Chain A
């Protein structure tokens, strides 16, 4: 069963604005990973945050993790039209055996 639930399901913003996507999960995790998928292609790995970390940055991306609330957020600052894609969170449990994906957020950045 899918652990992750993401909201919003769809987000439409103007270029230059910030985009925030949220992910919630149900059980304890080892880490949480965020991915981007353009138009039904393969997944591009964006960032991995471990359960003992609270925040990570990578370029225009900022990820937070709150294990007490079992939730994570992905912030994309100064968005560009090229950021238009589906964004997925995925959680890895303590066994490390499988990565379970959320339902995804479809982000549209309008030029």
Chain B
């Protein structure tokens, strides 16, 4: 299994500012994913981040709002830009285990509150 850490674990931010969330994995992985979980809701995939290529965004999410970096096979960042209260959510980093059809593991999440 993969061990994933995220920083920060939580933050309170003012609207209009940006926050960068870091995700570190204890092993090299090809595919990394960023999810959003709004209060009381399920998880929604924001984008898939593969090393060496641009992130692939899901419908409803754009690079200008959620820029993603993937500099190597163990690390990724997600930035939430120009935040509004609607961005208050838990943001989770995720990786796949062995193979494209294996278990998917999740980090502990970053709880964001935008005032």
Contacts and interface: CB of A to CB of B under 8 A. Distances in A.
Interface of A: 2, 30-31, 33, 35, 40-45, 48, 88, 90, 92, 96-104
A42 B101 contact: no
Contacts of A90: 43, 104
Contact of A88 (B42, B45, B101, B109): B42
A15 to B, nearest CB: 25
Interface residues of B, number: 25
Interface string B95-109: 000001111111111
Q: Is the interface of B mostly helix, strand, loop or mixed?
A: strand
Contacts of B103: 33, 45, 48
B112 to A, nearest CB: 12
A-B pairs with the 7 shortest C-beta distances?
A96-B100, A42-B108, A43-B106, A101-B43, A101-B42, A42-B109, A96-B101
Contact of B90 (A2, A40, A45): A40
Contacts, number: 55
Nearest to A44: B106
A103 B42 contact: yes
Contacts of A102: 42
Given A35-B106, A42-B108, A99 B45 contact: yes
Contact of B101 (A35, A92, A101): A92
Q: Is the interface of A mostly helix, strand, loop or mixed?
A: strand
Given A42-B106, A97-B48, A31 B101 contact: yes
Contacts of A96: 100-101
Contacts of A98: 33, 45, 48, 58
A41 B48 CA distance: 21
A104 B92 contact: no
Which of B4, B43, B102, B105 has most chain A Cβ within 10 Å?
B43
Contacts of A88: 42-43
B111 interface: yes
